[in-house]
Structure 1
Amino acid sequence: MQDFEVDHVEMYVGNLEEAAFGWVEKYDFPVAATSRSADHRSVTLRLGEITLVLTEPTSDRHPGAAYLQTHGDGVAGIALRTPDVTAAFEAAVRGGATAVREPARHPGAGPRQPVVTAAIGGFGDVVHSLVQYDGTAATPKPADYGGREGKLLAIDHFAVCLDAGDLGPTVAFYERALGFRQIFDEHIVVGAQAMNSTVVQGAAGAVTLTLIEPDMNADPGQIDEFLKNHHGAGVQHIAFTSDNAVRAVRRLSQHGVEFLKTPAAYYDLLARRIRVETHEVDDLRTANLLVDGDHGGELFQIFTASTHPRRTLFFEIIERRGAETFGSANIKALYEAVELERTGQRELGAVRR
């Protein structure tokens, strides 16, 4: 069975300089490369194991032009690294994937130049490029951090909003086409709103998608609004891991990243819900971090306020201290946090199990 890792994420943007400046100045991403062609310009940013490719189309011939008109700035591609692109592509197509680009071999000059690539359709307008390097560059070396603490390390998961009724077929697609497996499933109710969520993960656990659809028997909520404003399925947020979420939030806040706020009552009641061992509760309170845990350990997370003009994309900082699953409190906290942010508020209601 083929195994996959996240190679890079491609975002289509309407203003390349503005988008790159935000990632460099606010999130500390160094510029790794730039490129251009007759129909696009791109900037590659790399921090730790995270590689982001920002692409601005410069002609209507580029697929990014239609994407931006429909969705605005957003995640257009999640590239998957694999040791055998041809085998992965053929298996995916047999499993029902749409062939976007047939396998092609490249010269592979340099450690970050793939030797074989292909592409298949994913969800909505998001494409999965398949990328194969030579044996010496199968797992590219993470970028140097320069000794900073609270750094961003890798991509923990992608949260994907789907149209109602598409959750089951999408889960089945990833199982058949890419060999993913279900690791978590839940129906979440928040007031009069509700959603269904299933987490699928690659065979080795290196690629994780949290797939979400609205419950049409409940009142419309944030998932419905995302689908309306985004004009279809897409990536709602990307979660970045950190070795120390408290320090990460402190540094990113100083650089101008805005996070959702959590009221004091959440931390006053925290001891009734979970025993926190990794961080001091006062530090969590200052950083507005949410806490959850499972049989493996603790999990800390926080969500940024969306700066997208359509409010359809935001990000998450997550620190795992042994926790492997997605606890009920965390998923519900995410839903409540975004719901309050969506309605113009900046405080997260207390989360109860």
Structure 2
Amino acid sequence: MEIEKIFKEAQDFLPINGTDYIEMYVGNAQQAAYFYRSAFGFQLKAYSGLETGNKTTVSYVLEQDKIRLVLTSSLVKDGPVNTFVNAHGDGVKVVALWVDNATKAWEETTSRGAESYLEPKTVSDENGSVVFSGIHTYGETVHIFVERSAYKGVFLPGFKAISDGFKTEPIGLKYVDHIVGNVKLGEMNKWCQFYEKVMGFTQLVSFDDKDISTEYSALMSKVMSNGNGRIKFPINEPAHGKRKSQIEEYIEFYNDAGVQHIAVATDDIIHTVSELRRRGVQFLNVPAVYYDTVTERVGEIDEDMKRLKELNILIDRDEEGYLLQIFTKPLVTRPTLFFEIIQRKGAQSFGKGNFKALFEAIEREQELRGTL
């Protein structure tokens, strides 16, 4: 598949078509699937478990437009899924990338220093075959390369189509915009270099502790992207502050580096967030005074500012246009993984003008948890 390269600095020796799926290891996949279906409007598409001959894990595959979540739990006392959940709580294990050639993707990355997670293998059923390979990245997070051009099934071999009669309305989520990783102090540059040297990405933007800080805490971040811009991985590390930053809190409870949040795109953030709030999803709140000066900062926008204020949606502008964004509170038991809802109206940035308000909102939550 030929996709236009928009970031010329990217070496792009590893062509990636997009995010194939995100797999979360969770304590109870059945209940987690119900949550993401009823709250976020995902549709149940496929299943693997005892009924499909899988004696060790159970997985539910959920879809909404181009977003695919896989929720996996263990069926046995020990094993890698339970080991992961015991250490980290519910969290992202796999960020799977859709490629044309999984064998070549593995060869390109491991030859440049990546640690192999899965050597290339072909798995088949009556619907065709899929080639997989994989590498380790920060913490216990892995990238699986998925080559699926010869497969016509519902998801992957070993999964069957499933419907239980429970239907929810999608809320307008379109695709994965970016996936953010938190790493330990001093490791941001190491992992940015990994994505540059091992995967051919380029750095889009960098934020230091002057950009992302409050009176009490700070972080630093760099955004890595592949050449076509379909895969963007911001990498965060803590910066020195008077108190514990959100990154330090994450690492304390997650017990390692890992995926902090998944940003999902919508074309109508007012509708999407209205539905999420109606369905009980909780968001970080910024003070009402944020909206007193936001028009001076971002200029005219198409959306109704009153509705944005009611929903607590943030706005920022760059040279290409503007964006609207909002962040959920943690969606899992530990104060770790959350979602961002984002609508881009031309902007290619990440909401730098909102960092201070967002950081202060996170600190208010940390204070309630007693972890600031």
Fold shared by both chains (TM-score > 0.5): yes
Structure 1 residue 156, shift from structure 2 partner:
0.7
Aligned length: 335
From 152, 177, 182, give the equivalent of 2:173: 152
Amino acid at match of 1:186: F
User: 1:78 Cα deviation (Å)?
Assistant: 0.3
What residue in structure 1 maps to residue 161 of structure 2? none
1:69 aligns with 2:86: yes
Q: Which of 202, 214, 226 is residue 238 of structure 2 equivalent to?
A: 214
| Pair 1:116-2:116 in alignment | no
Comparing 36-45 with 327-336, greater Cα deviation is found at 327-336
- 2:264 is aligned to 240
Paired amino acid for 2:174: L
Q: 1:114 to 1:126 in 2, by over 3 A?
A: farther
Q: 1:191 deviation in Å?
A: 1.3
Provide closer, same or farther for how the CA distance between residues 218 and 87 of structure 1 changes in structure 2, counting only shifts above 3 A: farther
The one of 331, 336, 340 equivalent to 1:316 is 340
- Does residue 177 (structure 1) correspond to residue 198 (structure 2)? The answer is yes
CA distance in 2, matches of 1:16, 1:62: 16
Structure 1 position 114, deviation (Å): 5.3
Structure 2 residue aligned with 1:263: 287
Within 1, Cα distance between the matches of 2:27 and 2:252?
A: 20
Assess, with a 3 A threshold, how the Cα gap between structure 1 residues 199 and 332 changes in structure 2: closer, same or farther.
farther
Q: How far, CA to CA, are the matches of 1:136 and 1:118 in structure 2?
A: 16
Preserved contact between residue 150 and residue 243 of structure 1 (Cα < 8 Å): no
TM-score normalised to the size of structure 2?
0.85
State the shift of 1:57 in Å.
Answer: 1.0
Equivalent in the alignment of 1:143: none
Contact 2:192–2:222 (CA under 8 A) maintained in structure 1: yes
Q: Percent identity?
A: 34
Shift in Å, 1:259: 1.4
Summarize the Cα distance change of 1:35–1:182 in structure 2 as closer, same or farther, 3 Å threshold: same
Q: How does 1:162-311 map to 2 (within 5 A)?
A: 162-187=183-208, 188-216=212-240, 219-311=243-335
State the match for 2:60 in structure 1. 43
Mark the runs of 5 or more structure 1 residues left unpaired by the alignment. Answer: 141-145, 346-353
Higher mean C-alpha deviation, range 52-61 or range 242-251:
52-61
CA RMSD for the aligned pairs?
A: 2.0
SS of equivalent to 1:179: coil
* Matching of residue 59 in structure 1 with residue 72 in structure 2: no
Give CA deviations for 1:311-353 in whole Å, capped at 9, x if unaligned: 11111110000001224213444333322222229xxxxxxxx
Structure 1 residue 180: Cα displacement: 1.0
* Deviation for aligned residue 1:287: 1.2
> 2:29 is matched with which residue: 6, 10, 16?
16
Q: Distance in 1 between matches of 2:120 and 2:180?
A: 28
Matches of 1:45 and 1:149 in 2, distance apart?
A: 11
Compared CA separation, residues 333 and 49, structure 1 to 2 (3 A): farther
2: CA distance, partners of 1:259 / 1:109: 44
Distance 1:128 1:264 in 2: 40
1:92 match: 109
Matched, 1:134 2:149: yes
Q: Is the 8 A contact 1:95 1:173 kept in 2?
A: no
Distance change >3 Å, CA 85–CA 249, structure 1 → 2: same
- The 1:114/1:324 distance shift into structure 2, 3 A limit, reads farther
Q: Is the 8 A contact 2:33 2:60 kept in 1?
A: yes
Distance in 1 (alpha carbons) for counterparts of 2:331 and 2:57: 24
What SS class does the counterpart of residue 106 from structure 1 fall into? strand
Alpha-carbon separation, structure 2, partners of 1:207 and 1:198: 14
**Which 4+ runs in 1 deviate beyond 4 A?**
none
Using the TM superposition, give the Cα deviation of residue 135 of structure 1 relative to its aligned residue in structure 2, in angstroms: 6.2
Q: 2:216·2:241 contact (CA, 8 Å) conserved in 1?
A: no
Matches within 5 A, 1:73-84: 73-84=90-101
User: Could you say which structure has the greater relative contact order, defined with CA pairs below 8 angstroms and 6 or more residues apart?
Assistant: 2
230-239 or 335-344, which moves further after superposition?
Answer: 335-344
Q: Please, which moves more after superposition, 254-263 or 211-220?
A: 211-220
Q: TM-score, normalised by structure 1?
A: 0.90
Q: Secondary structure of the equivalent of 2:55?
A: coil
